[in-house]
Amino acid sequence: MTRLDRIVVVDHSPQWARSFESARSLVEPLLAEHLVRPVEHIGSTSVPGLPAKPIIDMLAVVSSYEAVGSSLPALEDVAWVAAPEPSDVEQRKWSWCSPSIALRTHHLHVVEESSEGWPTWLAFRDHLRTNAEDRETYAAIKRRLASADDEDRPAYRAGKAPFITSVLARIAVN
């Protein structure tokens, strides 16, 4: 399905934390038997003061990629839709969104504990929460990329990658 939402970076909103908590209250009980930690608010909307696309990213770390698969259809009962991404199997994760793929407000990443990627998502988030200079630099990059082409998601992600990689190298996250 084609995404209809454009890449629009807006000023941070305190509402994002409330929206995350509301979504977590629906999702966490459905995945509880597989979770190895509480569902986390990740991505730019989780960093106070950081402009972002108004899509709430959520992380559910589970013990087993295979075992959680049977629990995932229950997400459909609370308005989540499977939204597979090309790297999901390789990263041992499942991608879900709400209320639709085309016009999502929330994106849930259900990832196996042994997957290598998710700890860096938390480390980057935590660093931006405490480092104003990097937060401002990242905000400028995101705004520049969004204004260059508000439909080219691959270019938007690729344009942010060098900064993210440099921060992760600096804070010694592998």
Q: Structural domain boundaries of the chain?
A: 15-170
The residue whose two tokens read 């608010």 is 41
What pLDDT shows up at residue 87?
Answer: 83
Find out whether 62 and 22 touch, Cβ atoms under 8 Å.
no
- What pLDDT band is residue 147 in, cutting at 50, 70 and 90? very high
Residue 11 CB neighbours (<10 A): 10
- What pLDDT band is residue 173 in, cutting at 50, 70 and 90? low
Across the range 8-28, mean pLDDT stands at: 97
Across the range 26-46, mean pLDDT stands at: 97
Q: What are phi and psi of 135, to 5 degrees?
A: -60, -45
CA distance 31 to 23: 13
What pLDDT shows up at residue 103?
Answer: 87
Model confidence over 88-131: pLDDT tens digits?
888 888 999 999 988 899 999 999 999 988 999 999 999 999 99
CATH of domain 15-170: 3.30.460.10
